[in-house]
A and B are shown apart, each in its own frame.
Chain A
Amino acid sequence: MNQLNEQKLPKAPSRIKHYLTFILILFLLWGSAYQTGSTFNELIEGFPNMFSVLDEMIPPNWAYFDNIIQAMLDTIRMAVLGTTIGAVIAIPFALFSASNMMKSTWIFYPVRFILNLVRTIPELLLAAIFVAIFGLGPLPGIFALGIFSTGIIAKLTYEAIEGIDKGPLESMTAVGANKIQWITFSVVPQVAAYYVSYVLYSFEINIRAAAILGLVGAGGIGEYYDRTLGFLEYDKVSTIIIFTLVVVLIIDYISTKLRENLL
């Protein structure tokens, strides 16, 4: 009986895999620290600087608020228009990359590939390219945000389209609807709420992005970081940061509430 128990006792799983993973992670970290020149010494040496910067940031220069309010409104405008452009362009992309809309893999795989490509390019890079094309101002920022949000909205929406109920699709086909009727009466009612929710979500992302696009000259409040940091006016910088935070938090709150109501 005792022997039987011993035989049935399972062996503890080998831990070699864990050790190897641990060593690999350590190696990655060491290599990264070496490559970036990160050392604790540098951090400790920089610490006093950090406190002096923080010290200068407090108290914020509230009078500067009047100078940046127009730029902040511009930032919100950029986000609104960029999101709208993205939302409109995303519709055909979402329809073409959903496998239950387009039966042929020759259509939806290439479209998805394009969407993946678009999403790998950070919006700041897009903005820098558009600044080179259109010159300084909010216009390149709007286009950059538009393209960037196309990638997000189209991806989330096509996943929503693929998850819809097949029944209405089949019944529309059965009554002989053409392609456009088929989409408006069986697809749109099922995904509209999701789509609006994703548009709002990408608006939240775009507000944050729009606030920094000015660093490459694409308009909005970001331009003021350059101006104030260049002159080491940290009290003004903290005014900009606090203002941006407040606006972003308010918009996030509204958008989250709206999305909760939708879904």
Chain B
Amino acid sequence: MSSATRPIKPKKKIYKRWVIYIVLALIYVWALSGVPVEGFKETAGQISKAILSGIFSPDWDYVYLPEGEDLLRGLLDTLAIAILGTFISAFLCIPFAFWAANNMSRIKANAGIGKFFLSFVRTFPELVMALLFIKVVGPGSFAGVLALGLHSIGMLGKLFSEEVENIDLGPSEALKATGARPLQILWFAVFPQVLPGFISYTLYRFEINLRSASVLGIIGAGGIGTPLIFAMQSRDWSRVGIILLGIIVMVTIVDIISGYLRKKIV
């Protein structure tokens, strides 16, 4: 009796599962075969110890130096790069967002091209963009600003276009019925609906950009990354420690403020 009511396991799924296992196993065999296992450097333990002791005894004097090139100024620079880069992209991505939104263009292919363009920008790494901008405007914070500003268009444009796709078309139709021009429709019916979402996504992207800005200096695009890579190359681990600490504290504080603002807006 009891065996009759028991459901039979679907056979197809078991077969499918084994295929997945085999594919996974093959991927791992391939991946592991390519890794050179020449063992660790014998100095690895020593260096890790030096790094750990450096990180736990940070170089507090570096926080503020009167003659410049200190932690606070580096962090301020990083913050400025992130703010300016985010703002540039938030402005530049608005036309792209409307381009990529399905409900804003009559031809569906048009929005598809916009979406593809945005995903193309998204996959273009910001560090490579920064490398190219360094060749254009020279090394320094400005190259970092431009790289972040262009790279963030990809993600912000996508998020913004999803926000545009979700709007209620009622107000736009009502305005159209009263004879409003397209620009007026945009300003009075579309913008008020999408603005909170836009601001919230911009803040979210700002959090991401702050993290990116702190590494841009590694390739010479300004911010705290430059002194960090110098300290690493000269094996000044207590300075590396204080810079890491500074980055962690700054990112955490900005995350908390930005999270609070985002909760208030939405």
Contacts and interface: CB of A to CB of B under 8 A. Distances in A.
Contact of A211 (B41, B125, B211): B125
Contact of B244 (A32, A38, A121, A249): A121
Query: Quick one: which of A28, A76, A77, A237 has the most chain B CB within 10 A?
Result: A77
A174 to B, nearest CB: 22
B84 A122 contact: no
Interface string A237-251: 100010011001100
Interface stretch (B32-40, B60-68, B96-104, B175-183): B32-40
Interface of B: 27-28, 30-32, 34-36, 40-41, 44, 47-48, 51, 76-77, 79-81, 83-84, 87, 119-120, 123-125, 127-128, 131-132, 135-138, 140-142, 144-146, 211-212, 214-215, 218-219, 222, 225, 228-229, 232, 235, 240, 244, 247-248, 251-252, 255
When A and B form their complex, which 6 residue pairs have the shortest distance between CB atoms, in order from nearest? A36-B141, A32-B80, A35-B80, A46-B137, A120-B251, A32-B84
B135 A122 contact: no
Contacts, number: 145
B232 A81 contact: no
A36 B84 contact: yes
Majority secondary structure, A binding face: helix
Interface stretch (A9-17, A102-110, A127-135, A164-172): A127-135
Given A120-B211, A128-B229, A38 B120 contact: no
Contact of B47 (A29, A116, A128, A133): A133
Given A29-B84, A36-B80, A137 B125 contact: no
A29 B87 contact: yes
B136 A36 contact: no
A207 to B, nearest CB: 10
Contacts of B142: 36-38, 42-43
B123 A245 contact: yes
Given A36-B144, A120-B248, A216-B218, A81 B31 contact: yes
A16 B124 CA distance: 41
Given A32-B84, A36-B142, A252-B119, 9 more contacts: A32-B87, A36-B77, A81-B35, A129-B51, A132-B51, A135-B41, A244-B123, A245-B124, A252-B123
